[in-house]
Structure 1
Amino acid sequence: MNRVLSPEPEVDPTGEAAVEAALLGVVPELPGRLPDALREELVAFRRDLHMHPELGNQEFRTTAAIKARLEQAGLRPRTLPMGTGLICDIHPGLAERWDGVRPMLALRADIDALPIPDTKSVPYRSTVPDRAHACGHDVHTTVVLGAGLVLADLARAGHLTRSVRLLFQPAEEVLPGGATDAIDGGALDGVGRIMAVHCDPRVDAGRIGLRPGPITSACDRVEVALTGPGGHTARPHLTTDLVTAAAKLVTEVPALLSRRVDARAGMALTWGRIESGHACNVVPQRAELSGTLRCLDIAAWRDAPDLVHAAIDETATLHRAKSEITYVRGVPPVVNETGTTELLRTAMTARRGTPTVEDTEQSLGGEDFSWYLEHVPGAMARLGVRAPEDRHPRDLHQGDFDVDESAITVGVELFTAAALLDPPAPA
């Protein structure tokens, strides 16, 4: 039997009718569309950030620019205790204070750049040598700023029924990530749910990718120093052959881990640096290795330091080398809470229809948004930034990374719809 949906004379943008309509693929008349003037302003803001990238915990200009625009909108942003990054609360009716009872919805953006050169030929190319927004953090920042400006207008008009916190976080690219400092600085105080987007160059602009459960990987840093007495390459049997020991560590430790951890955990140790020796006929006294350990399963990640230490020690001892291991905890996997993931799906469907949401895979990339999810439920969506006609394979953390800037509008409208469709819990 065909079901006919009769148009409603009025749709409550925060009520059950809007949610039901969104789930059915019907686009309700939600407020919060971006005016053309604001859309153009946000593109210009993003390009300004792109031209002036700042590394983690050095984002002073970026913080000042965000703060000035929010204050211009009549809001009261507060710089985080670390000196960069900030939070800004928007309450129904633009009340000056949170009611202290009903938890807030937080929208998080990371604001730092990467220490790599910008190789693009565009007018908004980075003006800072060997610095670039090659991971899309300038877009994330602009999306949350734009959502804040729209939500402030909706609050004035009486459409916003829950408090929303804008969270601009520094140092996402610096292990273990600036999220832990932000949390210590009170970023989650009063927050009951948190959301974020991350640019994805494999997804077309105008679309988002969602996945309940793990969507990123854990990522830790492993550094190893091997030492021995050194000697002549003519008599390696009389000394510790550190070059061979280092080479064995490179190949055998990942192999050992693959046999000591359930393969479904997706644990992978990949070396990125190995250094040893200065002369072809001298067995060196020191060798250094460093790499990253990534893991898809949060339980296996918690056991990883002990497993890695044991595998390295065993291999080094076999080759008569002494090992000094530095294991730096990075971030756990981002594990999307199902309810928040479905809220993002509902919000995107309400704004742009069912076909604009696609399922996405779990990646081996790390993201410190995961630290927030250790405290409150939340989810991260992949924000499509690929121009539909562009089929050249691109990736993050590359000097030529760029985005289709229509993605900014998509991100802003996704967040504003989510804020409207997620009514606060009763006091």
Structure 2
Amino acid sequence: MPAPEEPAVPGNPPGAAAVPAREAAAPVDDQDHAPAPSPGHEPGRHPGHLPGHETGHALGRGPVRAQVRRAEPAPGREAFPGREADSEKQNMNTTGRGPSGSAVIQGAQMTHPGPGVIPGLEPPNPPGPASPAGRHEAVPPTVPSPVESKVPSTGMSPTGMGAAGMGAAGGLGAATGNTSGGEDDPDESIPEGTVPDETLPQGAAAGEIVPGAPAEGAASAGSAVLGGAVLQPQLDAFLAAHEDELIAFRRDLHMHPELGYAEHRTTRKLAERLRAAGLKPVILPKGTGLFCDIGPEDGGTVALRADIDALPLQDEKEDAPYRSTVPGVAHACGHDVHTAMVLGAGLFLAQQAEAGLLPGRVRLLFQPAEETPGGALDVMAAGGIVGVDRAFALHCDPRIEVGQLGLRTGPITAACDKVYVKVTGPGGHTARPHLTADLVYALAKIVTELPSALSRRVDPRSSLSLVWGRVSAGSVANAIPDDGIAEGTVRCLDDEAWHRAPEMMKALLQSVAAAYDVEASLEYVRGVPPTVNEATSVQMFRDAAAQVIDEDGVVPTPQSLGGEDFGWYLESIPGALARLGVRTPGSPGEYDLHRGDFDVDERCLAVGVRVLSATALTALWEGGRPGDTETTIEGAALA
């Protein structure tokens, strides 16, 4: 399907000569390597921006006109948290935050790599009969039931994969009926422009979110839940009843993928299932995405986040009965899996809360538009992290095997920004370059000198890089053009370097342009900040995983220079993002995200539910409320 044109970007110099049209940008990539797309397939592109955010003011004087769209940095965050034990890195300056910008964020789409198909899948047992009350429409009549799926059996232990496995009978549980008739309740949506209350999520009245106080003596009873001997059988029983339902729910989302800010069906399905469980989801103001609270308020609050949007790619899985039914749109980054896992963890934790065993509050964040990006900012602007003490998320990783969890303290994904440089000057004949501004030569100097000069202005451990993706000037061999462009991405792992990058690049561009008597304008488009995992939150992931998956299942994961907008949450509150293995053990071939043939070993759903549930309980019992952490949304309500 042809990609829509990207809207014109404001801020080009008045009267400037036309340059070749900029191609629509692709989504932010989420891995540190980018294999080529599948043969014969050219991924679509999805233009977008952060709706409601204004363009930043122009920066700079002289020949360079720079337009920087940036965020006000959250106060008090160190550049490399969790690295105190590394004596070699203790001398790094992490106190500066860079110049504060007065402009707000505009969104950008970045380039994203792609994934692999998982072969050798075998069928699980079919789900049990629907309840008399009617089942949730996780799989419409056109969807093959899970009996047609191809989930392998590898002989993993119940500890590693869950005793429920794929052999659970009965499967779908009782409270799965549709209750809303496909419409969202008006009183559970947040009106546009409403200022969030400081104690309750926006749009919720007192008592509306919390589904009941804990039973008397819940703290003493609940403390035993953290012991693997108690938590494991509870999770086993839950997954025996619900694992097939979660697989069917994931497949339904996979068949009906929706792009960022268009996830209306996905949001409706989530709201229906949460209401059926007795919960009160709150729809975000723009109509897609929601958050939902579980448990009492008085023990701290932990958030579990899932992104729900799909990619503008064609689903190329020829033999999967649940392949996308939407041309040119596919869940090729695993967001359908993320959504089903957080839903499953929420349903399990709701059972714990009803039994008085939840020692605090868990907030489920079903976030729209991660790929655009921008959805995290909308969640924050709607009050989604007000009162939240820690946030956790899992992301599918087809490089590691199902049953494994990849952890890393400190930066795990990079900041990703886009830059657009336009160079102008009097053109002329190539026989007389001394009578013109030799614009192509000047543009070549900018393209070759800026990346190395920029990297020399920051600590090398920040991994700041400028890589060009498009350079264009002129149309014939014997004429010097009067304009040219260069477009690329800036990535880094350090907050301080990220906030300084626009000013540094503007100064360097001005220096090179002045030497060749050309004018240059810089448009610097903010994407996402680096995702920096806090050490305590990573340890909570590790402690939880030790209870519910095999001890060897926790593996180190490398830093990625891809982007992930979960970093916006961690600008304000501590938390961690972990990598969830989705690759069938022993399967050959290359696997990656953002490819039309991407799929997962569906046993990862049970692993994800176990890890997220145990992590939420661990965080609440070990102290989900750090005393030195800001839990407001100062600087976040940017819309």
Residue among 136, 140, 143 paired with 2:338: 140
CA contact (8 A) 1:32 1:151 kept: no
Alignment of 1:94-243 (within 5 A): 99=297, 101-121=298-318, 122-175=320-373, 177-243=374-440
Shift in Å, 1:172: 1.2
Shift in Å, 1:52: 2.0
DSSP-derived class of the 1:423 partner: helix
Residue among 537, 551, 572 paired with 1:375: 572
Shift in Å, 1:216: 1.2
1:85 maps to what in 2?
289
DSSP-derived class of the 1:381 partner: strand
1:400 maps to what in 2?
597
Alignment of 1:238-387 (within 5 A): 238-387=435-584
| Structure 1: runs of 5+ lacking an equivalent | 1-11, 93-98
Equivalent-residue separation in structure 2 for 1:247 and 1:399 (angstroms)? 36
Of the structure 1 ranges 271-280 and 255-264, higher mean CA displacement relative to structure 2 is found in 271-280
2:235 maps to what in 1?
32
| CA distance 1:61–1:277, change in 2 (3 Å) | farther
2:324 maps to amino acid = S
Equivalent-residue separation in structure 2 for 1:426 and 1:345 (angstroms)? 15
CA contact (8 A) 2:389 2:624 kept: no
CA contact (8 A) 1:13 1:421 kept: no
Q: How many residues in Structure 1 have an aligned counterpart in Structure 2?
A: 403
Pair 1:71 & 2:275 matched: yes
| CA distance 1:277–1:46, change in 2 (3 Å) | farther
TM-score (norm 1): 0.88
Output one character per residue of 1:114-135: Cα deviation in whole Å (capped at 9) or x when no partner: 2222222222222223222221
Shift in Å, 1:14: 4.6
Equivalent-residue separation in structure 2 for 1:115 and 1:403 (angstroms)? 19
Shift in Å, 1:171: 1.3
| CA distance 1:116–1:28, change in 2 (3 Å) | closer
2:366 maps to amino acid = F
Shift in Å, 1:203: 1.0
CA contact (8 A) 2:498 2:529 kept: yes
DSSP-derived class of the 1:422 partner: helix
Of the structure 1 ranges 373-382 and 34-43, higher mean CA displacement relative to structure 2 is found in 34-43
Equivalent-residue separation in structure 1 for 2:624 and 2:289 (angstroms)? 31
DSSP-derived class of the 1:44 partner: helix
Alignment of 1:42-57 (within 5 A): 42-57=246-261
DSSP-derived class of the 1:364 partner: coil
DSSP-derived class of the 2:278 partner: coil
| CA distance 1:127–1:275, change in 2 (3 Å) | farther
Shift in Å, 1:213: 1.6
Equivalent-residue separation in structure 2 for 1:426 and 1:246 (angstroms)? 52
TM-score (norm 2): 0.60
DSSP-derived class of the 1:179 partner: helix
More helix as a share of residues: 1
Shift in Å, 1:57: 1.5
DSSP-derived class of the 2:604 partner: helix
More strand as a share of residues: 1
Equivalent-residue separation in structure 2 for 1:86 and 1:43 (angstroms)? 21
Tell me the C-alpha RMSD between the 2 structures. Answer: 2.2
Equivalent-residue separation in structure 2 for 1:206 and 1:170 (angstroms)? 27
CA contact (8 A) 2:302 2:624 kept: no
2:609 maps to amino acid = V
Pair 1:60 & 2:254 matched: no
| CA distance 1:74–1:274, change in 2 (3 Å) | same
Of the structure 1 ranges 203-212 and 54-63, higher mean CA displacement relative to structure 2 is found in 54-63
CA contact (8 A) 1:87 1:166 kept: yes
1:413 maps to amino acid = R
1:4 maps to what in 2?
none
Equivalent-residue separation in structure 2 for 1:65 and 1:285 (angstroms)? 54
| CA distance 1:55–1:233, change in 2 (3 Å) | farther
Output one character per residue of 1:91-117: Cα deviation in whole Å (capped at 9) or x when no partner: 15xxxxxx3x43211100111122222
2:611 maps to what in 1?
414
